[in-house]
Amino acid sequence: MVGYAFMGAAHSQAWRTVNRVFDLPLHVRMTAVCGRDEANVAAAAARLGWQEHTTDWRSLVARDDIDLIDVCTPGDSHAEIALAALAAGKHVLCEKPLANTIAEAREMAAAAVRAEAAGIRSMCGFNYRRVPAVSLMRRMVADGRIGDIRHIRAAYLQDWITDPQFPLVWRLQKDKAGSGALGDIGAHIIDLTQFVSGQSITGVTALTETFVKERPLPQASSGLSAAAEDNSGNGTPIATGPVTVDDAALFLARLNGGAIATYEATRFATGRKNGLRVEINGSRGSVAFDFERMNELEFYDATGPSDEQGFTRILVTEPDHPYLSAWWPPGHGIGYEHAFTHQARDLVEAIATGADPTPSFTDALQVQLVLDAVIRSADHGSAWTDVEPILAEVAA
Ligand SMILES: NC(=O)c1ccc[n+]([C@@H]2O[C@H](COP(=O)([O-])OP(=O)(O)OC[C@H]3O[C@@H](n4cnc5c(N)ncnc54)[C@H](O)[C@@H]3O)[C@@H](O)[C@H]2O)c1
């Protein structure tokens, strides 16, 4: 695994747990973790359960006793690490968004398709697909329970940078992150809604905003938290730098199955910590998911008797719900980390059975193409902008 902070911890938890919860044909060995700082990565290896550590990710790619490389770094290094790993014949799990540019994403998808022929598997880490209530939502939509889809309404709301003194961490720098709220959390709702609906976004009209354009430089580069003062303890302000990404991104979209959609991704929704909500309205009913109530799915069945109609709250904890037979008795809910264990399970199973796991790098490229269309639309006065096609050589 490369990178050991937020996602590194979540993925490590999944690798530690997966064989203890699920009966799998292969056993995961957590061989080595990589980071840039020797002391920090050594401590992380001990804390997270890795046998060895290194500061050189290339040494991981070169090892014969490593079969899978798990990329948990910021987007500016995804392409280089994933491409080297695939070229060396390693399976790859890469965090989302797949890359920082569509050029990189196209190259990664093409490399993944070439590697498939040699039995090498790759997957992008859109973990919310594997929340059981979301997987159930997809199953119900695919089974026709809501009929023809008319509306998709998706919002991913956070508030961790509303304070203008919050420092300029890597997520606020275009060269490191590619984009802001759009690629970080907007990418999740793009993938989730396309996954659940079975439809792909074909065009968008978009608006982005950067509310705070200049921020204090961080003391140490980190993800969702960092100090905004120098280390002297007297509160001396440190130098500032420009925010080069969006704080918020909104867009309308058309999908190829006839649905129309609204999307909102922001880090300025004061009070909303990780508010991910998706609702889909169809000709026969509706489904709605709210991550703050992640063990539940709302379902409205418009085909029942009119005097009994209303949204039903399905408690998604039954053994016949996706993934849940391996966990706890009905009614004993699961949490944020479980979707990562489900992701690890599905990847290990795909590797063992010789199947191609989803979301593939090509699926993740398609999300990247939507992100790109959103940026182009916002840059051109919200003009209607078509999503570029996936080229034939990487299409499934
Ligand atoms: N699936 C999700 O829900 C989800 C949530 C958060 C982040 N992410 C994605 O995960 C990735 C990492 O985000 P994070 O929140 O864990 O960031 P983070 O800042 O918490 O951790 C990044 C890690 O990468 C390491 N790193 C950075 N550059 C490196 C390099 N060149 N070589 C080796 N190590 C390097 C850092 O030392 C750190 O350990 C990003 O692509 C992000 O978009 C996904």
For residue range 185-202, list pLDDT tens digits in order: 999 999 999 999 999 999
Give mean pLDDT, residues 3-10.
98
Candidates 72, 101, 342: which one to mutate for ligand 1, based on the most atoms within 8 Å of Cβ? 72
Residue carrying the six token digits 């998911």: 289
Residues 100, 336: Cα–Cα separation, whole Å: 25
CB distance 2 to ligand 1 below 6 Å: yes
Q: Residue 234 has what pLDDT?
A: 60
Q: Is the beta carbon of 75 within 6 A of some atom in ligand 1? A: yes
What's the confidence (pLDDT) of residue 394?
76
What pLDDT sits at residue 392?
66
Question: Does the beta carbon of 57 lie inside 6 Å of ligand 1?
Answer: yes
Q: Is the pLDDT of residue 396 over 60?
A: no
Q: Could you report the per-residue pLDDT of 279-293, keeping only the tens digit for each?
A: 999 999 999 999 999
pTM of the predicted model as reported, rounded to 2 decimal places: 0.96
Instruction: Look up tokens 């063992």; give the residue.
Output: 352
Please give the share of the chain, as a percent, with pLDDT higher than 70: 94
Q: Which atom of ligand 1 is nearest to the CA of 170?
A: 19
Burial of 337 (0-12, 13-18, 19+ CB in 10 A): middle
Q: Is the CB of 336 under 6 A from ligand 1?
A: no
- Which secondary-structure segment (H or E) carries 153? strand 149-157
Q: Which residues contact 58 (CB under 8 A, 6 or more apart)?
A: 84
**Structure confidence by residue, pLDDT tens digits, 36-94:** 999 999 999 999 999 999 999 999 999 999 999 999 999 999 999 999 999 999 999 99
Q: Please report the pLDDT score of residue 224 as a whole number.
A: 60
pLDDT score of 219:
77
Specify the pLDDT at position 220: 58
Partners of 312 in beta bridges: 299
7 lines ligand 1 (CB under 6 A): yes
Could you tell me the distance, in angstroms and rounded to a whole number, from the CA of residue 58 to the centre of ligand 1? 17
The residue to mutate among 4, 6, 100, having the most atoms of ligand 1 within 8 angstroms of its beta carbon, is: 6
Residue nearest to atom 29 of ligand 1 (CA): 73
**Structure letter (DSSP) for residue 271:** T
Going from the Cα of 11 to the center of ligand 1, the distance in angstroms, rounded, reads 11
Q: Left, alpha or beta for 213 (phi > 0: left; psi -120 to 50: alpha)?
A: alpha
Q: Which residue has the CA at smallest separation from atom 23 of ligand 1?
A: 3
Q: How far is CA 212 from CA 101, 232, 318, in A?
A: 24, 26, 45
| Mean pLDDT on 294-306 | 97
Rounded-to-integer distance, Cα 304 and Cα 300, Å = 9
Task: Measure the CA–CA gap between 307 and 266, rounded to whole angstroms.
Answer: 39
**Ligand 1, atom 21: closest residue by C-alpha:** 5
Q: What's the chain's average pLDDT?
A: 95
| Stretch (H or E) spanning 262 | strand 260-266
396 versus 203: the higher-pLDDT residue is 203
Name the residue with the closest Cα to ligand 1, atom 18. 223
pLDDT tens by residue, 78-133 = 999 999 999 999 999 999 999 999 999 999 999 999 999 999 999 999 999 999 99
DSSP one-letter code for 291: G
Q: Is the CB of 36 under 6 A from ligand 1?
A: yes
According to the model, what pLDDT value does residue 235 have? 60
pLDDT at residue 361 greater than cutoff 80: yes
pLDDT digits (tens, 9 = 90+) for 218-232: 975 445 654 444 445
Atom of ligand 1 nearest to the CA of 223: 19
SS3 track for 23-35: CCCCCCCCCEEEC
Average pLDDT over every residue of 138-156: 98
Q: Please give the pLDDT value at position 227.
A: 46
**Averaged over 274-281, what is the pLDDT?**
98
